[in-house]
Copies of this chain bind each other. A is one copy, B any other.
Amino acid sequence: MLRANGGRLKASLLEMGKIGGTAAGGVTRLTLSDADKQARDLFAAWARDAGLSVRVDDLGNQYARLEGSEPSAPPVLLGSHLDTVPAGGKFDGAFGVLTALEVARTLRDAGVRTRRSIEVVNFTNEEGARFEPAMIASGTLAGQFAPDYIYDRRDREGRSFGEELDRIGYRGSAANRPEEIHAYIETHIEQGPVLEAEGLPLAAVEGVLGLEWVNVTFKGLSQHAGPSPMRSRRDAMVAAARAVVALRDLALEYPDPAVVTVGRFQPIPGVINQIPGEVIVGIDMRLPSAQVLDEVGERARGLIQRIATEEKVDALVETIRKVPPTIFDRGLVELIEAEIVAEGLPRKRMTSGAGHDAVYINEIAPTAMLFVRTVGGKSHCETEAINWEDAQQAADVLLRVVMRLAGS
């Protein structure tokens, strides 16, 4: 049975990880930065060395194509992204691109010619760490954004996406966008602790949690901490803190993978001896069905207003983002699952808590994902890690999934 070259995959991941590499072993490779250009150049060079043809579309997405025996048949698309968050890791994104490249290299080395062409994609700006929103380029392929909107996104220094795309020489042609896509498979690190806790290296991903982001501004009365008796206060800090605890307790009423997180908590003025007059709280709710997403959103609003009333403060609730759950193609999920089992591993399906380019591509082509166990569940950090045996198995499973989809 054909197997991927795990040693080459490891070497490629480590080599790519040096570009934008940090002293602590992480990677800072913001999209359209000099480091991103170097990473793109390296990916293109490796692809050409493996006999793939490389093209770039008007959004900067790179496609490396291994021509099939039937060039007009819609290709199988594989990949992810090469950009990272600041002080991120070597695997988020790069693992999906380089596992896909390894599959192409393996097929080429073995002289296997598939019927369908195989394209390895590197999507621009998945992270959204430099230009908001995230997944801007796959979203544009899916018709969610207009290119002019994209080109005018600006980073914190005021530089635009379009200028930076030109600066690094990666503005290609709209004609290079993929036409019909037979299937899209994205391999990615799990970014959570579930597979590690269950002792499993791989999972088929059947969808992505729906998401709602809400900002709540609690407005009370700012007073000096000393001369303000406890019973006369209208303390926005206490109200916001009660909301954080109540939201956690609300989430615990639902089974995994339902999650509610408060990551932003901003008191104004935020000094030790002043009761803040205002606290802004950012709430991230992720639920597996549209119905439960609505239900939790409604219950969250209810508890926030109840707490605000009890604490004699006002609460202004604003939805800043709402994305329905993504359900991936059932046939592709079953295929991935079958190949995990064929690898001798336990059957495992799960739902992704994080968004990926696959969410948008799912709107225009049959899509599914393959997750690999993440050490300690840690990602978006410099200590992000995987087990190399898991990487070998992921590449092997992806290889066989691709051979089935592309026809060999």
User: Which residues of A approach B to under 8 Å, CB–CB?
Assistant: 190-194, 197, 209, 211, 213, 215, 221-232, 235, 237-238, 240-242, 244-245, 248, 251-252, 256-267, 269-276, 279, 282-284, 286, 352-355, 377-381
Contact status A256-B244, CB under 8 Å? no
The answer to whether A237 and B262 have CB atoms under 8 Å apart is: yes
Please determine whether B232 and A193 come into contact, CB atoms closer than 8 angstroms: yes
Contact A276 B263, CB 8 Å, known A194-B229, A224-B380, A241-B244: yes
In the assembled complex, how far is the CB of residue A96 from the closest CB belonging to chain B, in whole angstroms?
Answer: 15
- 11 A–B pairs (Cβ distance < 8 Å), ordered by A: A191-B226, A192-B227, A194-B227, A213-B273, A224-B353, A225-B353, A226-B354, A228-B377, A230-B251, A271-B282, A272-B284
Given the interface pairs A232-B377, A242-B245, A245-B238, the reply to whether A226 lies near B259 with Cβ below 8 Å is yes
Contacts of A235 in B (CB 8 A): 248, 261
Nearest B residue to A279 via CB reads B265
Query: For residue A261, which residues in chain B have a CB less than 8 angstroms away from its CB?
Result: 225, 228, 235, 237, 272-275
Residues of B within 8 A of A221 (CB): 378
Assuming the contacts A230-B248, A237-B265, A258-B230, asked whether A225 and B284 have C-beta atoms less than 8 A apart, the reply is yes
* Distance A228 CA – B190 CA, assembled complex (angstroms): 10
Nearest CB in chain B to that of A250: its residue:
B230
> Assuming the A-B contacts A238-B244, A272-B284, A377-B223, are A193 and B263 also in contact, with contact meaning beta carbons closer than 8 angstroms in the complex?
no
Say what secondary structure dominates the interface of chain A: mixed
Closest B residue, CB atoms, query A257: B229
Q: Is the CB of B352 within 8 A of A226?
A: yes
Q: Which residues of B contact A272 (CB under 8 A)?
A: 213, 215, 261, 263-264, 282-284
What residues on B are CB-neighbors of A190 within 8 Å?
A: 227
Q: Which residues does chain B contribute within 8 Å of A222, judged by CB atoms? A: 381
Docked-complex contact A355 and B238, CB < 8 angstroms: no
Write out the residue numbers on chain B whose beta carbons fall within 8 Å of the beta carbon of A276: 263
A263-B225, A267-B264 known; A230 and B252 CB under 8 Å? Answer: yes
Closest residue of B by beta carbon distance from A269: B263
- Contact between chains at B226 and A353 (CB < 8 Å): yes
B-chain residues with CB within 8 Å of residue A191 when the two chains form the complex: 224, 226-227
CA distance A211 to B229 in the complex (A): 15
Task: Select one of B211, B273, B284 contacting A284, CB under 8 A.
Answer: B273
Query: Are A264 and B271 in contact, with the CB atoms below 8 A?
Result: yes
Inter-chain CA distance A252–B238, complex, in Å, is 13
Task: Among B215, B238, B248, B259, point to the contact of A228 (Cβ < 8 A).
Answer: B259
Query: 7 additional contacts, CB 8 Å, given A227-B377, A264-B267, A272-B284?
Result: A224-B379, A225-B263, A226-B259, A230-B251, A237-B261, A263-B272, A272-B282
Q: Find out whether the CB atom of B238 lies under 8 angstroms from the CB atom of A248.
A: yes
Q: Would A227 and B352 count as touching, CB distance under 8 A?
A: yes
Residues of B within 8 A of A352 (CB): 226-227
Of all A-B residue pairs in the complex, the 10 with the closest CB atoms, nearest first, are: A192-B227, A226-B353, A227-B353, A272-B282, A241-B244, A225-B261, A226-B354, A241-B241, A225-B284, A229-B256
